[in-house]
Amino acid sequence: MKMKKYLTSIVAMDNKEGKLAKFVGPVIEAESFESAIAWCQQHAKYLFVEQELITYQTTDKLVCAN
């Protein structure tokens, strides 16, 4: 099965605002949304799986996800 890419997020304290905020996490690879969640629960409990990335492009100036 082809691995899919999933966007993750991290909820942490924003040191500027002093409140909890959501930040973009790393893109991970998994076979399904459920297996991406399972991977995060096992390896990086602070990550939340947001959505599957269909396409993405990165440059020095632009990051585009879905």
Instruction: Give yes or no for residue 2 having a pLDDT over 60.
Output: yes
Mean pLDDT of the chain: 87
pTM as predicted: 0.76
Q: How confident is the model at residue 66 (pLDDT cuts 50, 70, 90)?
A: very low
Do the Cβ atoms of 36 and 30 come closer than 8 Å?
Answer: yes
- pLDDT, one tens digit per residue, over 28-47 is 999 999 999 999 999 999 99
**Rounded Cα–Cα distance for residues 20 and 23 (Å):** 10
